[in-house]
Amino acid sequence: MQPGKAPVLLRVSGLIVACGFAFPGAYLVWHNFTGAADPLDLLFSRRTLEPLGRTLRLAAGVSLAASALGTALAWLTTRTDLPWRRFWRVILPIPLVLPTFIGAAAFIRTLNPGGLANDALSGLGVERTFELRGFFGAWLVLTLFTYPYVYLPVAARLRHLPRALEESARLLGDTAWQAFRRICLPQVTTAVGAGTLLVFLYTVSDFGAVQLMRYDTLTRAIATNHLANPPVALALGLILLLVAAAVVVTERSFSRRRIDFDSGGAGRPVEYRLGRLRAPALGFVVAAALLGVGAPLVAVLDWSVDGLSRSRGGRPLTVDVGTVAESAWNTVSVSSVTAVLAVTAVLPIAYLVGRYRSRVGAGAHAVVISTFALPGLLIALSMLFWTLKSDLAFELFGNTMALLVFAYMVRFGSLAMGVTVVAVRSVPAWLHDAARTLGAGPARRFATIDLPVMGPGLLAGAGLVLLSVMKELPISLLISPLGFSTLATRIFGSFEDAFVAEAGIMATTLVLLSLLLSWFLVIRRADHL
């Protein structure tokens, strides 16, 4: 049966949404070439090339380390007789839901005087303060927090590799190691590649960790210049945009070559015996989990205990419960509103693509998906300049929640897009046919068939957006309305100034919220456990 033509209203709303998503990026490029200074001049000056070099160096270093770490952990937890594999499979993805700036803050905090690690070292008689700053600090934190981008797809691929492939290789005369190298490895390279590019993209757009580690990458240079020297910030933004675009183009060419297996009935994959290597392998996994999950959690907890119990400079620190509660409420409410709006916004496009195969829909879908490469800092920058340059925009949106929520939506709408299309496709056409022959009109069909069937999918999409907005930093920092603060901006701000008592408690709150929500909304449904 051929799908009919999409209703006009649906196509128009799809177009409007796509224009909204395209706007920040387009404005940034356009503004660059209409400004006073020639961006091409600035593009090749030292002021831009040096941060670019640092960004690329950091991204390359992090990608390399994260892909090695992620692949090794994936193999160990899926294909070997490593002890407590199920436990590790639950633990190892956790860094994905922790914001990098909290990770960076936790590491710095714990090595500073008064921090847990510093105290421990003093106890051992080492009276020295380790400064975790610059390239190494940023590299360490970003590696530990981004390896799940490689770990998750590789583990999934390894687990779904049909058992028969390796078994036939063995029957054809390969040793276990040869079968692994000749059959297994080639099958996971695409997963490793795709994951690594995500890590690269994440590192390039990261703002929190490099800012706290004081490593002058593009994002940090943009943030430093955005008020004092807008043309430079814009030119830097353009470069960042180009880098991100290049990464995505590469990623697309990778994913096109992906092979899909029918994983049905594949059975449990072949398992390798680690033998004498079992203890060192376990040590490696424990170390990774301790550094990536344990250390940040312990440091954040210690930090919040600190805030509750200690005084500084003789002055007792009091915790202002109201501030914590207000920031937490702000975070949860703005995230929930954004999540609902984002799913609602992409739903027309999902219908156009999933049900009608409309060409307008395909274009709009491509626009929304491509915004996934747009760093949050650039969206914030673009919106900031827009409200500064245009009087009308300032009148309407300057300093408003609407602008903040819009920026969040553009930043994370692409996360909801994919899930929403799947949700729309999960409603079989024949259910609609059946409902029609039973007398149900369009509104009743939407309410009684579409919504209940799509419900879990839409919820998962909203959950992804919710989680991401909660830990978002640069957009919240740059364009929050005056007096509006989220947990993330509070923690970050307090860290920039000095250690404030509430910061630790807020960090703990944010981490717990993230863990709880990701458990309920994402992990519980995923099949990778």
Instruction: Give me the least distance between CB of 12 and other proteins, in Å please.
Output: 23
Instruction: Give me the least distance between CB of 336 and other proteins, in Å please.
Output: 24
**Distance from C-alpha of 356 to C-alpha of 354, rounded to nearest angstrom:** 6
Of the pair 1, 36, the CB lying nearest other proteins is at 1
Site string for other proteins, 443-482 (x = CB under 8 A): -----xx--xx-----------------------------
Phi (first) and psi of residue 270, to 5 degrees: -60, 140
**Distance from C-alpha of 498 to C-alpha of 269, rounded to nearest angstrom:** 51
Cα angle for residues 495, 501, 507 (degrees, 5° grid): 60
Of the pair 9, 438, the CB lying nearest other proteins is at 438
Of the pair 7, 20, the CB lying nearest other proteins is at 7
Of the pair 403, 454, the CB lying nearest other proteins is at 454
Q: Encoding tokens for residue 190?
A: 């695409």
Query: Which one of 182, 436, 524, 528 is in contact with other proteins (CB under 8 A)?
Result: 436
Q: Per rule CB under 8 A, is residue 430 in the interface with other proteins?
A: yes
Taking the mean position of all CA atoms in its chain, how far away is CA 487? Answer: 17
Q: Which residues pair with 316 in a beta bridge?
A: 311
Q: Per rule CB under 8 A, is residue 277 in the interface with other proteins?
A: no
Q: Per rule CB under 8 A, is residue 362 in the interface with other proteins?
A: no
**Distance from C-alpha of 110 to C-alpha of 114, rounded to nearest angstrom:** 8
The DSSP result for 70-81, as a single string, is HHHHHHHHHHB-
From the list 457, 402, 337, 424, the residue with the least C-alpha distance to 14 is 424
Instruction: Give me the least distance between CB of 449 and other proteins, in Å please.
Output: 7
Residue 61 CB neighbour total at 10 angstroms = 18
**Distance from C-alpha of 193 to C-alpha of 190, rounded to nearest angstrom:** 5
Instruction: Give me the least distance between CB of 433 and other proteins, in Å please.
Output: 5
Query: Which one of 8, 9, 437, 527 is in contact with other proteins (CB under 8 A)?
Result: 437
Sign, CA dihedral 509-515-516-517, equals positive
Of the pair 120, 434, the CB lying nearest other proteins is at 434
Please name the residue that has the structure tokens 């356009």. Answer: 30
Of the pair 274, 449, the CB lying nearest other proteins is at 449
Q: Per rule CB under 8 A, is residue 426 in the interface with other proteins?
A: no
Instruction: Give me the least distance between CB of 439 and other proteins, in Å please.
Output: 5
The DSSP result for 469-498, as a single string, is HHT--HHHHHHPPTT---HHHHHHHHHHH-
Query: Which one of 172, 259, 438, 482 is in contact with other proteins (CB under 8 A)?
Result: 438
Instruction: Give me the least distance between CB of 1 and other proteins, in Å please.
Output: 7
Number of residues this chain uses to bind other proteins (CB under 8 A): 18
Q: Is 312 helix (H, G, I), strand (E, B) or coil?
A: strand
Query: Which one of 441, 443, 482, 527 is in contact with other proteins (CB under 8 A)?
Result: 441
Q: Per rule CB under 8 A, is residue 83 in the interface with other proteins?
A: no
Q: Per rule CB under 8 A, is residue 43 in the interface with other proteins?
A: no
Strands (DSSP E) contained in 251-319 are: 311-312, 315-316
DSSP state of 316: E
Q: Which residues pair with 272 in a beta bridge?
A: 80
Stretch that binds other proteins, among 84-92, 158-166, 438-446, 480-488 (CB under 8 A): 438-446
Distances (CA, A) of 78 to 165, 220, 294, 493, 521: 16, 38, 21, 41, 24
Of the pair 34, 437, the CB lying nearest other proteins is at 437
CB contact at 8 A, 27 and 382: yes
Query: Which one of 56, 64, 274, 431 is in contact with other proteins (CB under 8 A)?
Result: 431
Q: Encoding tokens for residue 5?
A: 């033509």
Stretch that binds other proteins, among 125-133, 140-148, 436-444, 459-467 (CB under 8 A): 436-444
Instruction: Give me the least distance between CB of 2 and other proteins, in Å please.
Output: 5
Query: Which one of 125, 173, 439, 483 is in contact with other proteins (CB under 8 A)?
Result: 439
Of the pair 41, 433, the CB lying nearest other proteins is at 433
CB contact at 8 A, 158 and 184: yes
Of the pair 83, 456, the CB lying nearest other proteins is at 456
Helix locations, 400-449, DSSP H: 401-425, 429-437, 442-445
Cα angle for residues 362, 365, 369 (degrees, 5° grid): 140
Instruction: Give me the least distance between CB of 454 and other proteins, in Å please.
Output: 10
DSSP state of 272: B
Query: Which one of 433, 481, 496, 525 is in contact with other proteins (CB under 8 A)?
Result: 433
Q: Per rule CB under 8 A, is residue 525 in the interface with other proteins?
A: no
Q: Per rule CB under 8 A, is residue 422 in the interface with other proteins?
A: no
Query: Which one of 291, 298, 440, 522 is in contact with other proteins (CB under 8 A)?
Result: 440
Residues of this chain that bind other proteins (CB under 8 A): 1-2, 428, 430-431, 433-441, 448-449, 452-453
